[in-house]
Amino acid sequence: MENDSFKSGFVALAGKPNVGKSTLINALLGQKVVIVSDKTQTTRNRVNCILTEDHYQIVFVDTPGIHKPIRKIGEYMVNIAINALKGVDLILFIIDAKDGLRNSDLRVTEIVDKSKIPTILLVNKVDLVKDKEKINLMTEKIQSLCSNIVKTIEISALTGKNLSELKQSIIDLLPEGPQYYPEDMITDKPSRFIISELIREKIFHLTKEEIPHSSGVVVEELKERENGVLYVRAEIYVEKKSQKPIIIGKNGSMIKKIGQLARQDIEELFERKVYLDLYVKVREKWRDDKNILNNIMEYKIEEIKD
């Protein structure tokens, strides 16, 4: 695409866990690309999500929430988030109007300030807060601690409030540049990664307590059968033997529900019939195992061919 006025760039999202980063990206792209959950630390990887229009291409960099890590997986996630801020053109720093400012927000503020990258401060979930003074005090505090902020916008990723203004502000701040990805590409992640994330999202939605964070998903096999059906074999890792029957459920009810919901999303994404084969395996302390983390977090697997 050759156009003298074409603008492009990488826009990283920064914020504490569960502040609404993934919901915002899906809203700006107008479709579901990254998984969302009301539980913290749902996002474990850096995912580039691509929005291409006639005169611009925005590459949103979705990252894990920046938090104080306890396990090896937590350290991995925080390192991914911090490194994702390097070399981008713009940062969207998101805070939660309903939650108020926490120490975790101040940790993110320090990291964003050190980046020296132009930043738009986004106050999310303003639809849930009637106290305007509370919002003003939050923004003033962050602005006093972060010298990179070039604009502040109050938004609601859920209702769409001020997202058009946000999109235009991003375009205005991006430099003229090339089209980095084909116009029909919406993410840079391989098919297996996206499928594993969709399965993991259902585990987050359907299970409670320690189960979501103790589980991981690896797609072991992905192939198109002669009849055109996409065959997917995935393994769900849990840390304890006691967690395995919870994922499976009584008479297989839970894993069946996980499979049904995930299959619907996979079929919508790939626009074809899907046969999803799920297995549950116990991998003790997998969240502290570097070999498993390298496989789950950022494995490189070739795309399925149409």
pLDDT tens-digit readout, 37-72: 443 444 445 678 899 999 999 999 887 655 444 444
> Position 71: which residue type?
R
- 135 contacts: CB under 8 Å, gap ≥ 6: 97, 123, 126, 129, 154
Domain borders along the chain are 7-173, 191-297
Spell out, as residue ranges, where the chain has pLDDT lower than 70.
1-4, 32-46, 64-84, 209-210, 212, 287, 289-306
Note the pLDDT of residue 211: 72
Q: Which ranges in the chain belong to alpha helices (H)?
A: 21-29, 72-84, 103-115, 132-145, 163-173, 191-206, 211-214, 244-248, 253-270, 290-298
Domain over 7-173 is classified CATH 3.40.50.300? yes
Task: Pick out the residues of the known binding site.
Answer: 15-22, 62-66, 124-127
Note the pLDDT of residue 256: 96
Smallest Cα–Cα separation from 180: which of 20, 9, 2, 5? Answer: 9
CATH number belonging to domain 191-297: 3.30.300.20
CA dihedral sign, ordered 267, 271, 273, 278: negative
Note the pLDDT of residue 299: 38
Note the pLDDT of residue 293: 63
Note the pLDDT of residue 41: 43
> Position 97: which residue type?
A
Partners of 51 in the β-ladder: 58
Backbone φ and ψ for 61, nearest 5 degrees, come out as -105, 100
Note the pLDDT of residue 197: 82
Q: pLDDT, tens digit, for every residue of 234-253?
A: 999 888 898 899 999 999 99
Task: Pick out the residues of the known binding site for GTP.
Answer: 15-22, 62-66, 124-127
Backbone φ and ψ for 51, nearest 5 degrees, come out as -115, 115
Smallest Cα–Cα separation from 126: which of 152, 96, 103, 101? Answer: 96
